[in-house]
Structure 1
Amino acid sequence: MRLVAATLVLAVGAIGWVAAPPPGATVAWAPAGSAPVHPGVPLLNVGAQCTAGFVVVDSGHIFLEEAAHCLSIGTPRGAEGDGCTAESLPLGTPVDIAGAAHRGTLAYSAWIAMRLAREADPDLCAFNDLALVALDPRDYPLVNPSVPVWGGPVGLAPQGIRSGEAVFGYGSSELGLGLGVLAPRQGQSIGDAGHGWSHDVVTAPPGTLGDSGSPFLDPQGAALGPLASIEVSPVPGSNGIGDLARELAYVRAHSRLRRAQLATGTEPFTGHR
């Protein structure tokens, strides 16, 4: 049984964002040690907190990952949602980003995209839970794509993760009471769900309410995916992690973000030490 890990479930896909950079524009990242916007910062959606995942770029635009279920409408708090049927907020919904000077805008939601595509694959409906928040270009100089503490990502994990392999995450749940020591987490994979669309992990500390969307790395520092759920069974307190490689492929196939790709970190991965 899965419980979504958002503080409150609300989802959206959005159109447009502010001041488009020219096609092919390159991105100059802020220094990792001082960048206020990075994977793991809190995101606020109509009063509910979730967590930013990895940084994604497309033709010079910069996006933060978020869990799509964080912006669904009418799904009871903590309840498992079906992304192919759940109601969602309208396109263009603003999102507050901790560390940014301006609000972001929801530019993509898998839950919106799947409804429009009349998706019927039960694995996708249950586990394709990615949304992308477009940053205001005025905030681009504030961004660094490196995962705090661990460094990376060095790239995408193209084939998921094997059971027993190590995982490294970083979250910012409000339930952490602002204690920085609770932000990094480490553990291992305990198997897959949804034919590889989700990866179950156990970590210390475990992901909890508000951690939805937070980034997880594999043993090599590659981006595994965003935290999507709190598992009640078979292992209570474990978490479901989305498969980012598959989720980004769906973005490219079912939205105008045809060049969406992971932004690799500027800092080396240190989790294997």
Structure 2
Amino acid sequence: MLRTHRSVRRAAAIAAGVLTAALVPALIPSPAQAWAPADTARITPGVQMYTDGAQCTANFVYTDSADNVYVGYAAHCAGLGEATDTNGCAAKSLPLGTPVTFNEGGSLLSEGTVVGRGTLAYSSWLTMQKRGTTDPNTCAYNDLALVKVSSADKGKVNPSVPLWGGPTGIDTDGTAAGDRVYSYGNSSVRADLDLLSPKIGLSLGDSVNGTRWSHPLYNVTPGIPGDSGSGFLSADGKSFGTLSTLGLLPLPASNNIGDLDLELDFAKATSGISGLRLVNGTEPFKSIL
């Protein structure tokens, strides 16, 4: 289908010392998530994700106030309709709790090797349908889902984008025509040809149909089925979008990129996930090939 944390002092009196010692466990915050080294992590932005046989690509890594770890992809990756069913306020979708796997080496012949597991924890499509959202641009372009990584696999995660590094934050002011953008797709159609995964593109402006919800752009190698959900970085390494749809008119073979700032704000307000936030990469952003 085509349509990315978390210490104490001594008292003089014995009684005060005992009281302080008793309070220490309550004062120590939960430990920060220990990310796997970027060069050995198995679950990162760009990893292949399979949902009931459908393959997509991870965009970025997210966490919450309880130190749960999530990996994002497109909501339509869990859709039950055709590739042309792009109205998230009407299209059918698999339910929350659906198992999702993280895979390496998937192709048209095989799903490759499972390197981790998770469950669908949030879908903009399911949420919009539950809330009765009707705004046509939101319905068409709010296309983000989050997969909660299993506790057993959290230690395999690193939030850095392969090759590019970052993200360095979230872009909040969009892109201008001609701005360079960076991505990492991982479609099984390419038969695991890693040289075709890194992408450089050019923004075609800051909106589709006059809305900031979606940004049109051209990649040197266009996003294809299986790249859906992959994340896009701005020229300064900020995450600004997720691959949603293939543009046909008026810009043939372009890609429409959902605005991550708006998508994540919607998720924060509606998902019930406390403290939901993007995780910056552990590796510096570098715009080289």
For the criterion TM > 0.5, the same-fold answer is: yes
Kindly state the Cα deviation for residue 58 of structure 1 after the two structures are TM-superposed: 0.8
SS in 1 for 2:203: strand
Question: In structure 2, the residue corresponding to 1:268 is in which secondary structure?
Answer: coil
Aligned to 2:52: 46
Equivalent position of 2:102 in the other structure = 97
Determine the structure 1 residue equivalent to 2:77: 70
Of 81, 84, 93, which aligns to 1:79? 84
- 14, 19, 27: which one aligns with 2:33: 27
**Matches of 2:153 and 2:76 in 1, distance apart?**
25
SS of equivalent to 2:204: strand
Residue 138 of structure 1 aligns to a residue whose secondary structure is: helix
User: Taking CA–CA contacts closer than 8 Å with sequence separation of 6 or more, which of the two structures ends up with the larger relative contact order?
Assistant: 1
Contact 1:152 1:264 in 2 (8 A): yes
Structure 1 unaligned segments of length 5 or more: list them. 7-21
- Is residue 2:2 matched to residue 1:5? yes
Question: Of 147, 150, 159, which aligns to 2:161?
Answer: 147
Structure whose alpha-carbon radius of gyration is higher: 2
Report deviation, 1:23.
8.3
Q: Report the alpha carbon displacement of residue 234 of structure 1 after superposing the two structures with TM.
A: 1.8
How far has the Cα of 1:101 moved from its partner? 4.5
SS at match of 1:227: strand
Percent of pairs with identical residues: 44
* Structure 1 contact 106–132 (Cα < 8 Å) conserved: yes
* CA distance 1:89–1:168, change in 2 (3 Å): same
Per-residue CA deviation, residues 22-79 of structure 1 (Å, 9 max, x unaligned), is: 9865211111111111000101111111111100111201100010011112x22x21
Paired with 1:39 and 1:262, the residues of 2 have a C-alpha distance of 12
Q: Which residue pairs with 2:224 in the alignment? A: 208
Q: What is the SS of the residue equivalent to 1:248? A: helix
Task: Show the counterpart of 2:23.
Answer: none
Check conservation: 1:219, 1:272, Cα contact below 8 A.
no
Residue equivalent to 2:272: 256
Aligned to 1:228: 244
1:49-198 alignment to 2 at 5 Å?
49-59=55-65, 60-73=67-80, 75-76=81-82, 78-98=83-103, 101-191=115-205, 192-194=207-209, 195-198=211-214
Shift of 1:88: 1.6
Distance in 2, matches of 1:198 and 1:24, equals: 37
TM-score computed with the length of structure 1 as normaliser: 0.88
Deviation at 1:272, TM superposition (A): 6.3
Deviations 1:161-197 (A, max 9, x none): 1121000000100111211100100011002115110
Letter in 1 for 2:50: L
Write the distance in 2 (CA, Å) between the matches of 1:167 and 1:24. 36
The alpha-carbon deviation at position 80 of structure 1 amounts to 3.8
Tell me, what secondary structure is at the counterpart of 1:108?
A: strand
Residue 88 of structure 2 aligns to which amino acid in structure 1?
Answer: G
In the aligned structure 2, how far is the partner of 1:102 from the partner of 1:50?
Answer: 15
**94-103 vs 33-42, which deviates more?**
94-103
Gaps of 5+ in 2: 4-27, 105-113
TM-superposed deviation, 1:103: 2.0
Distance in 2, matches of 1:151 and 1:262, equals 14
- Structure 2 CA distance for aligned equivalents of residues 182 and 112 of structure 1: 33
Aligned equivalents of 1:115 and 1:23: distance in 2? 37
TM-score w.r.t. length of structure 2: 0.84
